[in-house]
């Protein structure tokens, strides 16, 4: 079970997440997002984390950038993976290959989609991420994902579950979806783009407990 805290903007927030036990940290490079971080600020945080938390995986969040630009930024910022949260084509995803995973925005109307025609499924987890479908938005909305549809995907592939997760609902989400990992951004904030230490710690604690209970019952 893996936990990702997304939308990190400061070293203090990164340290809260690492101290709480997060496995992945996400840095959002989409300018309209309240969680946007510059490449320079990201680099400074990453430099410290490579020393203080070498086992934490660091992810850049991108929206509709050309794949070669994504690779350039990954190398420049010394990031492990790219999360593709836009409308990236399967061709662009394939160019990035194992260095990226796709974020899928799920809705009831998406039940008949064919994964292999939309998504490059990574050979190593996470295969992809599932999030809520909100027209015109690219994640971080705080809206719940379709857990029924997410569960059907989680039964087949190791997925990250995102979308409206909080310390209060994470246990139910884990029980119902049974994901490989969970991803949270707005659910651990006191204002858009501003993380809260107590909320981060509560989310990670409740997520870990829910996963442990799920493991016992399986």
pLDDT in tens, 3-52: 999 999 999 999 999 999 999 999 999 999 999 999 999 999 999 999 99
pTM of the model: 0.93
Query: Residue 54 — very low, low, confident or very high, per pLDDT cuts 50/70/90?
Result: very high
- Give the per-residue pLDDT at 105: 84
- Between the alpha carbon of residue 194 and those of residues 34, 41, 42, 184, the distances in Å are 9, 15, 16, 13
Residues 187/166, Cβ–Cβ less than 8 Å: yes
**pLDDT above 90: percentage of residues in the chain:** 83
Q: Mean pLDDT score of the chain, rounded to an integer?
A: 92
Query: Residue 155 — very low, low, confident or very high, per pLDDT cuts 50/70/90?
Result: very high
Q: How far apart are CA 29 and CA 12, in angstroms?
A: 19
State pLDDT tens for residues 195-211: 999 999 999 999 999 99
Residues 103/133, Cβ–Cβ less than 8 Å: no
Mean pLDDT of the 78-86 span: 97
- Give the per-residue pLDDT at 112: 47
- Give the per-residue pLDDT at 43: 98
- Give the per-residue pLDDT at 171: 97
Query: Residue 95 — very low, low, confident or very high, per pLDDT cuts 50/70/90?
Result: very high
State pLDDT tens for residues 103-130: 998 765 554 455 656 889 999 999 999 9
Q: Is 112 a catalytic residue?
A: no
Delimit the domains of the chain by residue range.
2-217
From 85, 84, 80, select the one nearest 93 (Cα to Cα): 84
Give Cα 25 to chain centroid, integer Å: 8
Does the pLDDT of residue 216 top 70, yes or no? yes
Q: Is 131 a catalytic residue?
A: yes
Per the residue annotation, which of 42, 77, 92, 131 is the catalytic one? Answer: 131
How are beta strands 159-161 and 81-84 bridged, if at all?
unpaired
Does the pLDDT of residue 134 top 70, yes or no? no
The correct answer on CATH 1.10.3720.10 for the domain covering 2-217 is no
- Give the per-residue pLDDT at 117: 67
- Give the per-residue pLDDT at 136: 56
């Amino acid at each position: 079970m893996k936990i990702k805290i997304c939308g990190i903007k400061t070293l203090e927030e990164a340290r809260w997440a690492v101290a709480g036990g997060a496995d992945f940290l996400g840095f959002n490079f989409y300018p309209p997002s309240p969680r946007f971080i510059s490449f320079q600020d990201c680099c400074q945080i990453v430099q410290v984390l490579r020393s203080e938390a070498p086992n934490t995986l660091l992810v850049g969040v991108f929206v509709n950038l050309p794949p070669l630009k994504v690779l350039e930024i990954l190398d420049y910022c010394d990031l492990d993976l790219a999360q593709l949260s836009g409308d990236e084509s399967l061709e662009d995803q394939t160019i990035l290959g194992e260095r990226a995973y796709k974020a899928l925005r799920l809705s009831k109307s998406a039940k008949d989609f064919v994964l292999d025609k939309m998504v490059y499924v990574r050979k190593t987890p996470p295969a992809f991420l599932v999030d809520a479908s909100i027209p015109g938005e690219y994640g971080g909305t705080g809206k719940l994902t379709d857990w029924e549809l997410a569960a059907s995907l989680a039964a087949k592939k190791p997925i990250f579950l995102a979308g409206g997760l909080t310390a209060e609902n994470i246990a139910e989400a884990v029980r119902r979806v049974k994901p490989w990992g969970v991803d949270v951004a707005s659910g651990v904030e006191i204002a858009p783009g501003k993380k809260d230490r107590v909320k981060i710690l509560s989310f990670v604690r409740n997520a870990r407990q829910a996963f442990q209970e799920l493991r016992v019952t399986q």
